[in-house]
Amino acid sequence: MIRFDGVSKHYPDGTVAVDHLSLEAPTGQITVLVGPSGCGKTTSLRMVNRMIEPTSGRIWIDDQDTASMDAAQLRRGIGYVIQHAGLFPHKTIIDNVATVPLLLGERKATARARAMELLERVGLPTSFAGRYPSQLSGGQQQRVGVARALAADPPVMLMDEPFSAVDPIVREQLQDEFLRLQQELGKTILFVTHDIDEAIKLGDQVAVLRVGGTLAQLAAPSYLLAHPIDDFVADFVGRDRGYRALSFQSTPELPIRQEPTVQIGATPEQVRQATADGWVLVTEDDRPLGWVEPSRIDRDLQPQMVHRGGTVATVSGPLRNALDAALSSPSRRGVIVDDDGRLLGTVRAHEVLTAIEEVERPAVHAEDLQPVEPPS
């Protein structure tokens, strides 16, 4: 657990970076600090490992006041990941990962063996061990950054926009793997981002900070989307928050229909007979590939003839994906698969919407109906 207790940071020029911040990041969970530039989120993060000293207030890790600990010792016990990974360019990947164990006085062989394990754990081949950071892509460097932060198995991790500097596809991969890793490791994580989508995706709870470093709202992501406490939070979580909230509602019993299918290699005749309407679903080994228009098929079905615009939703996944599958499908029928990616059938958008209307929204906490006065 990390606990901020009335923490403020004022600079000599009068700037207030953080103002009476009190919040608790529970053990084993991801707490995301999110807010616009100048909301003091990074400052707050850096006060935990005392890269920045608070002007007033206390920060506790479990029952220890961080101010009472030796700064270097404190830092060695906290994993730290930053935006551009900040790897040491002059050290090999393996030595980068082994940094903290070596600082803690572990034997080189032990530290390296553990570093090897961690490379595999974050999804990097061990053949990278002897390379230098400049030889890795941004996404790979960021994985090394995560491995380095985990090397001494710290209970607490601080992450400062760790996935912001990589392209969107790699970012999503890294986020998914991070969540999977966290499921195994259960670290107490304080995570800073300016990206509300990332906050909502990753956070067990999300703290929205205002410019000037005050806490606007602290809540679970689904609650934040459903009940922003004021206009600032509502604006910040964005206009399509109703749609995004669907990410947290898993698919209830959707009325999934059987869908006629054809295989690659089917003759135009077979394709036309498969369906009465304008589109037919193509599968391979029970997995959906995409849709074809029978009227346009004049020879045996080839993979490049398949229209791949529609997304695919997993039956146990969130409603957002099911709705998106229906909306993006050229046939207007959203493809639903089981957890192994095998075709179950299709649903229509109105059926998903009906399901959405039947799901209860998270109840409002009584205290959130009272506007909270920011401390003066």
Partner 1 sequence: MTWFLDHRAEVFDLAVRHLYLAGVPLLIGLLLALPLGWLARRFRPLYPPLIIGTGLLYTIPSLALFILMPGFIGTRILDPVNVLIAMTIYTIALLVRTVADGLGAVPGDVNQAATAMGYGRVARFFKVELPLAVPVISAGLRVAAVSNVSIVSVAAIIGVAQLGSLFTDGFSRSFLDPIVVGIIACVVLALLLDVVIVAATWLLTPWQRAGKVRT
Task: Tell me which residues touch partner 1 (CB under 8 A).
Answer: 49, 51, 72-76, 78, 80, 82-92, 99-100, 103, 125, 127, 131-132, 134-135, 137, 148, 158
Residues paired with 149 in a beta bridge: none
d(CA 24, CA 9): 18
Burial class of residue 276, CB neighbours in 10 A (0-12, 13-18, 19+): exposed
What is the DSSP-derived secondary structure letter of residue 257? B
In the complex with partner 1, the residue whose CB is nearer, 110 or 137, is: 137
Q: CB of residue 132 vs partner 1: minimum separation in angstroms?
A: 4
The count of other CB atoms within 10 Å of the CB of residue 220 is 15
Q: Say if residues 313 and 325 touch (Cβ distance below 8 Å).
A: yes
d(CA 327, CA 310): 8
Q: CB of residue 11 vs partner 1: minimum separation in angstroms?
A: 16
Q: CB of residue 373 vs partner 1: minimum separation in angstroms?
A: 35
Q: CB of residue 80 vs partner 1: minimum separation in angstroms?
A: 4
Q: CB of residue 183 vs partner 1: minimum separation in angstroms?
A: 25
Amino acid at 145: G
Q: CB of residue 151 vs partner 1: minimum separation in angstroms?
A: 9
Q: Which tokens is 97 given?
A: 């990962």
What dihedral do alpha carbons 78, 82, 85, 86 form, nearest 10°? -80
In the complex with partner 1, the residue whose CB is nearer, 87 or 281, is: 87
The count of other CB atoms within 10 Å of the CB of residue 350 is 10
Q: CB of residue 243 vs partner 1: minimum separation in angstroms?
A: 35
Q: CB of residue 104 vs partner 1: minimum separation in angstroms?
A: 8
Q: CB of residue 46 vs partner 1: minimum separation in angstroms?
A: 8
Q: CB of residue 66 vs partner 1: minimum separation in angstroms?
A: 13
In the complex with partner 1, the residue whose CB is nearer, 161 or 198, is: 161
In the complex with partner 1, the residue whose CB is nearer, 77 or 317, is: 77
In the complex with partner 1, the residue whose CB is nearer, 85 or 336, is: 85
In the complex with partner 1, the residue whose CB is nearer, 10 or 131, is: 131
d(CA 295, CA 276): 11
In the complex with partner 1, the residue whose CB is nearer, 125 or 309, is: 125
In the complex with partner 1, the residue whose CB is nearer, 139 or 290, is: 139
Q: Say if residues 147 and 126 touch (Cβ distance below 8 Å).
A: no
Angle (CA) 365 197 253, round 5°: 70
In the complex with partner 1, the residue whose CB is nearer, 86 or 317, is: 86
What dihedral do alpha carbons 15, 20, 26, 32 form, nearest 10°? -30
Reference 145, options 186, 108, 174, 107; nearest CA is 174
Q: 3 phi and psi, to 5 degrees? A: -125, 120
What is the DSSP-derived secondary structure letter of residue 365? P
Task: Scan for tokens 């689904």, then name that residue.
Answer: 222
Q: What is the CA radius of gyration of the chain?
A: 25
In the complex with partner 1, the residue whose CB is nearer, 43 or 49, is: 49
Strand order in the sheet with 287-292: 261-263, 280-284, 287-292
